[in-house]
Structure 1
C-alpha cells in the first residue's frame, strides 16, 4: 500500500453470502469493531461484523496514529493502560505489522503556565504509575532535533507509542477472521428486528442475521442509527485535516503536540502532521441544535481550536428520515464512506507552521493529504454500555478524537460486556445515561 487513501478509495467488496445467524453482530468496521470481533473470536464466539464500506475506511485509518496514556481523562486511563499492553504484544502474538514503536509523546508548553498545568497532571500520572514526567526546556534539546523553536517545558511519557492507522485495523480484522470471526464489507445494517422487546435479528442489505446481541460501533454514524431505534445518543462530528510528508530528517522518534503543529514520525521515515491549535471544523447540522445544550461545556473548552461552517451536510441531514423501511435502501448505503475534503486553508497553515517550527522539513514535501470526521460526545469521553430500554443492544462509540490508541482496550471491554466475561475494565463511567440522569458533564483535561 503506497497511500493512506488506498484504505478507502479501493473498490468495495460486498459479501457473496450473508450468515443466517450469529451469537453477536457488530455494526462498524473501525478500530473498536474489529478489536471487539478479535476478542470475541478468541473466546470462540460466533461473531459477525458488518461494515457498510471498507474496514477502517473512515476515521480509524485517518487519525494521527498516536498511542498515548498521558493527558487522558482519569476515567479512560485503566482502559488505556490495558490497550497499551495489547498494542505492545500485538505484532509478536499475531505476526502482523502495524508499525508499532515506542518513541514517546510530548505535549510542548507554550508558556510557564502550561508547564504548571502539566505539573498538576503529574498527580494523576503517579496514581496510575505512569512513566510520565515534566521535561524542562533546557533538556528538550536532547529529545527534539532540528527545530528553531524553544519551549519552557513539556509533558513527556517515554513509553507512549505510535502505529500506522492505515495498517492497524485491517491487521486486527485479519487476525479476527483467522480465529473464526466473519468480517463483511459492503454490507450495511439497515436496522434491527425485535421479539418481546428484545433484539432478535439484524437486517442488512444482503439479508437478515438472527441474533440476540448487537454492538453499535459505527463511529460517526452511531447517533443516526440509534435515533432510528428511538435512542438519543448525543454525538456531533468535527472535521480534522491531516497531511503526510515524504521521508525527511529526524525530528523525534515519537510524536509531539505544539499549539502550532502536531507531528508524528511514521514507519516510512516521513511524518504525519496536523495543525496543533486550530485543526477542527464543525459542520453545523440539525444535530448541532438538537444537542446544543449538552455540548456547551465542550464548546467552551474547544472554542479557540474549532471553527464552524454550514455546508451541504446540513441539508443532507435535514432531508434524512429518522426511520426508514428495512426492505429499502438506507442512508448507510447512500453514503458508503464518509470522505470529507481536507481544508486547503488548514493545509496552508500546517505547511507554514511546519516550516517555521521545524525548518529542517522545509523541503520535505506533502505527498498526501486527507480529512476525517471525528465523532465526539459532550464530555469528550466514550459511550460504552448496554441500552437498558432495548435488551440485546449495546453501544461502543464516541471516542472523540483519541480513539485509535484506546481502541483495542475498548474492544476488550466491549467483548466482556457482550459475553458477561470479566475484562478487568470498569465501563460504568461510560454509560450513555450519564447525559440524561442529572450527572454533571465533567470534561476531560484540556491539555
Structure 2
C-alpha cells in the first residue's frame, strides 16, 4: 500500500491536536491528523468549559494569555462560534487564610494582565447576593469566562480541513517508529503514514506513545464528574468555583444562556482504559449537591437532568507535557493537561505550530518539558507554587 506522506503527522484529535493542525496549515505545512475515535471525544468535548486564566501555575500564564488572545478572535479565526462568553470568573473561599493566598496570587507580576479583584465580606455578598453565608472572600477575573467544549475540537478540525489538512477519524495507530529520519506510523487497518515531524497530542494515551521513544511519563487517567440542571431563568452569568485544599469541597458551576447550570468538581473516577469508558459515580452527585447547597443555596431544589464523565490525563506535578522530545529530533508532545487544558487549547496549537515551524517559540513552555520526568538532571525546573489542580478551579 502506498504510504500517505505529509510534513507533519499528528496523533490525537482533541482540541490540542485539532488546533495544532489548523495553525500548522496557516504556516503552510501539509498536515495529517489521526484520531482513533471521534474528534474531541474523550476530554476536550466533555470538560466543564472554563475559559479561565486565574488560578493557573504562574509560569503557565504566558501561554494562557496567548490563548486568551485567540479566544477573543473567535469565530473570525476558524469560522465557528464556540459560544465563548467573557462572563467573568470568581474563585471563592470559605476561610480567612485562603483570602491571603488569593491576594498573593493577584499581586504576582505574572498575573497583572488578569486585572484580578479581591472582594471580601459585605462587599462580596452585596455584589453576589446568591452566595452562601460561609463564603468569606473571592478573586474576580473580569475577562475570563466559558465556552461550549462540545463544539471546540470539531470546529478546529473542520477549519483545518477547509485549510487543506487531512483529518482522519476512526483511524487507530498500531505502531510508531522513526526510520531513516522519517516517522512511520502504521494503523490497525494496515495504512502507513510518513512524515518528517510527529506531534503526539493523544491525551491520556500520550504516555504510551512517548514510551515507544524511551520517554516514559507517569501519567494517570481520571474521569471528571459533570452534571447539569434543568433550565431556570438566566441570572448567574459569572463562572464560580471554590478555592480549597479539601478535595470534597471542590465545586464549580456556570449557567448558560439557555438556563441550564453546569456543575463539576469533587471526586474523580478511574476510567476503563481498555474499553475507553468513563463513569459517573452516584456518590459524586450527592457530594456535588451538598457542596452546591453550601455555595449556592438556591440550587438545592433544582433537578439534575444529565450526568457524564470523560477521560483526562494527570501528571504528578499537575503540569502538562508540552514541547520537543528530549531524545528524538522532529518529535513533539502536547498532552497531560491535568483537566485544565480547554482554555489553553488554541494557544497550545499556535505555539506548537510555531515551535515545529521555527524550532523555537516566543512563549514560555520550559516548565512543561518532558525531561523533568525522563532526565531531571538536565533541567533546573522552577517550583510550581500555584499548581493547576482541580482544587484551584
1:32-51 residue pairs with structure 2 within 5 A?
A: 32-51=16-35
1:91-102 residue pairs with structure 2 within 5 A?
A: 91-102=75-86
Deviations 1:7-65 (A, max 9, x none): xxxxxxxxxx9971111010001010011011011122110110000100001111111
Structure-1 residue corresponding to 2:345: 407
CA positional deviation for 1:154: 0.3
Structure-2 residue corresponding to 1:279: 267
For the aligned residues, what is the CA RMSD? 2.3
SS of the residue 2:259 aligns to: coil
Residue 431, structure 1, aligned to residue 372, structure 2: no
CA positional deviation for 1:433: 0.8
SS of the residue 2:114 aligns to: coil
SS of the residue 1:25 aligns to: strand
**Greater CA drift, 161-170 or 417-426:** 417-426
Partner residue of 1:341 out of 256, 264, 279: 279
CA positional deviation for 1:251: 5.0
TM-score (norm 1): 0.79
Structure-2 residue corresponding to 1:201: 184
Structure-1 residue corresponding to 2:292: 354
**Any gaps of 5 or more consecutive residues in structure 2?**
243-248
Structure-2 residue corresponding to 1:393: 331
Aligned-partner Cα distance in 2 for 1:126–1:443: 13
**Any gaps of 5 or more consecutive residues in structure 1?**
1-16, 284-311, 317-334
Conservation of the 8 A alpha-carbon contact between 2:270 and 2:278: no
SS of the residue 2:45 aligns to: helix
CA distance 1:114–1:424, change in 2 (3 Å): same
Deviations 1:78-136 (A, max 9, x none): 11001011011111333312110011111101111010111111222565432112112
SS of the residue 2:37 aligns to: coil
CA positional deviation for 1:440: 5.8
SS of the residue 1:59 aligns to: coil
Aligned-partner Cα distance in 1 for 2:182–2:3: 17
Structure-2 residue corresponding to 1:265: 255
Partner residue of 2:105 out of 101, 118, 121: 121
Structure-2 residue corresponding to 1:443: 384
Give the number of aligned pairs. 378
Aligned-partner Cα distance in 1 for 2:167–2:133: 47
Aligned-partner Cα distance in 1 for 2:87–2:2: 43
Conservation of the 8 A alpha-carbon contact between 1:379 and 1:444: no
Structure-2 residue corresponding to 1:90: 74
TM-score (norm 2): 0.89
SS of the residue 1:58 aligns to: coil
Aligned-partner Cα distance in 2 for 1:412–1:72: 19
Partner residue of 1:242 out of 223, 226, 230: 226
Conservation of the 8 A alpha-carbon contact between 2:9 and 2:194: no
SS of the residue 1:60 aligns to: coil
Structure-1 residue corresponding to 2:246: none
